[in-house]
Amino acid sequence: MRFFKPPPSPAIATVVLSLLMLLAPYLNLQFIYLQHHWRLAPKGVYGDTAMVVSAHGLASDIGRDVLAAGGNAFDAAVAVNFALAVVYQQAGNIGGGGFMVYRLADGQTGALDFREKAPLAADKNMYLDAEGEVIKGLSLAGHLAVGVPGSVAGMVALHEKFGTLPWDVLVRPSIYLADEGFELSEKAARMFNRYQADFARLNRHQPIVVRDQKWRAGERLAFPDLAQTLSRIAKFGHDGFYAGETARLLVDEMRAGGGLITQADLNAYQAVWRQPVRFDYRGHKIISMPPPSSGGLALAQLLQGASAYDVAALGHNSAAHIHLMTELQRRTYADRATHLGDTDFVDVDMAGLMAADYIAARNADIVPDRKTDSKTIRPGLVNVIESVETTHFSIIDPMGNAVAITTTLNGNYGAKVVVKGAGFFLNNEMDDFSIKPGYANQFGLVGDDKNAIAPAKRMLSSMTPTIVEKDGRLKLVVGTPGGATIITSVFQTISNIIDFNMSAQQAVHARKSHSQWQPDFVMLEKGTLNIGNMIGLMRRGHQPYSWPHFTYALGRVEAILVHPDGRLEGAADYSRGFDDRASGF
């Protein structure tokens, strides 16, 4: 599903909107003046001791219960992650991967990379035809799109290092959910219905979610094969997924469907501990994810670029504010396409790209009254962005440990392939590689040889799990799904809190915009601008695109803010009609 097609030219759109503005009083069109205001946000969930925020209320409650039973943030993370693999299957997973940024109560920080890898049999040109052209869809759907999963290895690694409660106790709630079933929300039913044709076309068997009649909210759905897989993981840990029966089922699925993953790939997979990206913004310390995620470095460029401006004086979501963010974003995403890749395979000049003089020079040609043409920043052209799905959860425990974890299957339900007999969806993360220099992936993101496919290489990501400190104390845990929009949503949420003094729920609830260099448009969530500011943006030369269903990707932020009095405010993005919930005590 595409987010947008090219919008009309700014000149034509400006004329049309100006006429509507003049005619509004006479044609009862006052609605065009409406702009969502962040002050209208509902209150967040408050707790004095602990907080969990995730994409589903059942998962958040399970994490809260783990903390209430004496577990720490890492114990809760394991339980939440496996629960999401059951109740939020379009993104929660054991067949994908992700990243974690953490901060211990004593101030120590770190990062865990459990991103998927290219199979050992993968090669640079595997999605190209004999003429060197991209075979459309081959990296997106079906068995050949699947990277080696890392989620289970990641959970095992963080539990081995920081866990306190027994592993099997933490996996047990997800087994119960899969075995006994749970009631489908309206969104869950809608999502299963939306992809019925893909599930039927891309699987060699009939997954349990495929049926003739539509799924309805309130129906109870169980996943017995997934329950058995989770039981093996609970009993054997790492070997419950990467060896034994689950591994056999996964390898058989790959072989039967023409995929590349073998037992050798599963044997070789390991999660990796990394040093997080650290930088300052207006007296705050920001801690975020390093490559193969582009999130931390891109966030550093955006926030440090914004630090040269009095952002608050521009007015939240004014034409001037959106213009500045767009200009910063264009340059950041051009750098992402040019310089970033898996640092286990390529050199990335992190220090240089984050240096104050480099960022100042990069942004020196930004002017307040006119956009910069993306083609002058770096050549290239992208016209469309496809739909995406990721999930994030944030946790603070009673001891003060904090965890930010973002995981994904990439697109909704990944490759749409369910492992026969094991009951879980597989990712389509191979599309996150640059399958051909200058060719855009499903998020409209382009890259070069630094992100080319290579055996056992991790593909570049936009996931941006982030923690913020103030005066040496924990202040914010934040992250979001949304493919390419992850970086800009986290950027705006942090700025909303620091620059505009919003509460966590206000910052999450506030409407957001996105631009990524290519395509050369500004994507606006419905309600971001009023008509006057929309015209002001167009007069600067921007091409805005407002789409009422943009919230499938933009927003969805899961945040926990530590207030000066020590209270925890959990902010889940339920205002846009999703199942996200905060749960604390």
Cα gap 420→99, rounded to integer Å:
27
**Beta pairing, strands 284-288 & 45-47:** unpaired
Looking up tokens 């995403």 gives: 333
- For 187-199, b where at least 16 C-beta lie within 10 A, e where not — what string? bbbebbeebeebb
Instruction: Examine the residue annotation and report whether 390 is marked as an active-site residue of this protein.
Output: yes
Instruction: Tell me the DSSP string of 354-417.
Output: H-HHHHHHHTTT-BTTBPPPHHHHS-------B--EEEEEEEE-TTS-EEEEEEEEESTTTTSP
Q: Which amino acid is at 332?
A: T
CB atoms within 10 A of CB 13: 19
Long-range Cβ pairs for the range 209-216 (8 Å, 24+): 209/89, 209/418, 214/189, 215/184, 215/188, 215/189, 216/184, 216/189
- List the catalytic residue out of 332, 390, 493, 551: 390
Which pair of tokens denotes residue 250? 């996964």
Looking up tokens 């941006």 gives: 464
Indicate the length of the chain as a whole number.
Answer: 585
Give the H/E segment covering residue 100. strand 97-103
Angstrom CA distances, 235 to 69, 169, 238, 243, 263, stand at 21, 10, 9, 12, 20
Q: Cβ neighbours of residue 491 under 8 Å, at least 6 residues apart?
A: 299, 302, 303, 325, 329
CB atoms within 10 A of CB 341: 25
Judge whether 423 and 226 are in contact, CB under 8 Å. Answer: yes
Q: Cβ neighbours of residue 270 under 8 Å, at least 6 residues apart?
A: 153, 157
Which pair of tokens denotes residue 215? 């799924």
Which pair of tokens denotes residue 180? 């006994």
Residues with a catalytic annotation lie at: 390
